[in-house]
């Protein structure tokens, strides 16, 4: 099954569960204000669904945690613990971060009850939160929510505050359980699927590198730098990931260009150059056979366009060229200038930077050059 179908299916299940909860809350919202505000939060949660499941692990848990905390009136501290085998790891902390929290704790040392949502005395958690127990001698209660996937305990959410938790709040947290289950399960599926596809693509890149040894490491460098630019430009997580993948495969079409042309040391003839110029078209043709990779195919197709419209294969100019392709063009040129070739040494960093500036607004998108130059300064990119 394709990844997009899996997401749609899992989200569909969540939406059905959400619909059930919303209707339950709607009945209660007529009764009091607390439930009507909770109803709004559930509605907002649905719209966030798709964005959250495709995020990187760290951001994903942080956002999911934030959503959970938002459902309670007030929380001093909260911890999100994910279990893996015999151990639990704290993946997100809300509130006072100076509290000493064990990053990894044995599953058997975690609080446990037969209910899915329950309160527990704070000093029962000494193994996990040694300093939390020491601060304040009174026995505070913690609200614990256990999240199960396929009958197996997968995560724990802990909430702490000075006042006791109301029955309604415990009910809300309980209602969130199915959401969290489907969020975490979908996210872990999407991440694994992503890893498999990445491994496949890296294998193909390695084959390309055998065919064209001068590109060794080039695809990975271009992918890393392109995604740094995308991040710096404030693009969404999904766009950053697409940038990385498109950059990783940008030269994949070279695999069908004869190696005698690719590896030729002397000057290329006009005919040979025309053959090389076809690699973005070939790359596009390979990638567009997979529905998951079709969008990347478009970015690969345009990675040799120029800002002034004198590039190939379409001769697009300015912002008509897809943004991701424009990002790849800049870092592709940078990495090529900085790398050694059999017939010349790589250009020094300052010279390569000067080249980028000189061709900014002609070959390259000036705003991307600006972002990239500031990245070079800030992060000391070689």
Q: Which residues bind Fe ion (CB under 5 A)?
A: 251
Task: State the nearest-atom distance from the C-beta of 254 to Fe ion, in Å.
Answer: 7
Long-range contacts of the stretch 106-111 (C-beta < 8 A, 24+): 107/83, 107/153, 110/81, 110/83, 110/156, 111/142, 111/144, 111/156
For Fe ion, the closer of residues 169 and 251 by Cβ is 251
Shortest separation between residue 60's beta carbon and Fe ion, angstroms: 33
Angle between helices 237-248 and 167-211 (to 10 degrees): 20
Looking at residue 86, what DSSP letter applies?
A: T
Of residues 160 and 251, the one with the C-beta less far from Fe ion: 251
CA 21 to the chain's CA centroid: 29
Give the shortest CB-358-to-Fe ion separation in angstroms. 21
Which of 364, 369, 265 shows the shortest CA–CA distance to 307? 364
- The smaller minimum CB distance to Fe ion, of residues 251 and 365, is found at 251
Q: Given the complex with Fe ion, which of 88 and 311 has the nearer CB atom?
A: 311
Cβ-closest residue to Fe ion? 251
Q: Provide, rounded to whole angstroms, the least separation between the CB of residue 218 and Fe ion.
A: 9
| Residue 200: half-sphere exposure toward Cβ, Cα within 13 Å | 8
Residue 332 CB, shortest distance to Fe ion, in Å, is 6
Q: Provide the minimum distance between the beta carbon of 319 and Fe ion in the complex, in angstroms, as a whole number.
A: 21
Query: Which of 153-163 are b and which e, b meaning 16 or more Cβ less than 10 Å from the residue's Cβ?
Result: ebbbbbbbbee
C-beta closer to Fe ion: residue 78 or 219: 219
Q: What is residue 233's three-state secondary structure?
A: coil
Distance CA 357, CA 118 (A): 61
Question: Among residues 241, 132, 117, 133, which one has the least CA distance to residue 174?
Answer: 117
**Nearest residue (CB) to Fe ion, 187 versus 284:** 284
């Amino acid at each position: 099954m394709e990844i997009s179908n899996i997401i749609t299916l899992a989200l569909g299940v969540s939406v059905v569960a959400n619909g059930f909860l919303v209707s339950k809350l709607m009945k209660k919202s007529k009764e009091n204000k607390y439930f009507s505000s909770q109803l709004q939060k559930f509605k907002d949660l649905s719209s966030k669904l798709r964005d959250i499941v495709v995020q990187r692990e760290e951001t994903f848990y942080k956002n999911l945690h934030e959503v959970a905390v938002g459902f309670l009136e007030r929380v001093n501290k909260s911890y999100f613990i994910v279990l893996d085998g015999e151990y639990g790891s704290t993946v997100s902390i809300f509130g006072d971060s100076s509290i000493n929290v064990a990053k990894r704790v044995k599953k058997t040392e975690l609080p446990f009850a037969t209910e899915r949502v329950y309160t527990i005395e704070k000093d029962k958690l000494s193994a996990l939160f040694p300093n939390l127990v020491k601060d304040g001698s009174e026995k505070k209660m913690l609200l614990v929510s256990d999240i199960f996937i396929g009958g197996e305990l997968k995560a724990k959410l802990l909430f702490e505050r000075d006042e006791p938790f109301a029955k309604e709040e415990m009910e809300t947290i309980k209602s969130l359980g199915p959401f969290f289950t489907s969020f975490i399960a979908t996210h872990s599926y999407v991440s694994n699927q992503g890893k498999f596809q990445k491994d496949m693509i890296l294998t193909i890149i390695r084959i390309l590198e055998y065919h064209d040894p001068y590109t060794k490491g080039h695809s990975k460098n271009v992918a890393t730098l392109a995604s740094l630019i995308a991040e710096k430009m404030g693009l969404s997580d999904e766009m950053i990931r697409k940038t990385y993948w498109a950059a990783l495969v940008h030269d994949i079409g070279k695999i069908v260009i004869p190696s005698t042309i690719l590896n030729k040391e002397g000057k290329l003839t006009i005919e040979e150059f025309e053959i090389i110029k076809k690699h973005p078209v070939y790359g596009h043709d390979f990638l567009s056979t997979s529905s998951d990779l079709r969008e990347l195919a478009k970015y690969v197709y345009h990675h040799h366009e120029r800002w002034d419209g004198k590039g190939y294969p379409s001769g697009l100019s300015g912002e008509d060229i897809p943004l991701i392709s424009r990002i790849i063009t800049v870092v592709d040129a940078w990495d090529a200038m900085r790398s050694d070739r059999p017939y010349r040494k790589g250009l020094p960093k300052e010279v390569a930077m000067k080249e980028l500036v000189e061709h900014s607004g002609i070959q390259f998108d000036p705003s991307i050059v600006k972002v990239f130059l500031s990245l070079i300064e800030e992060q000391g990119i070689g």
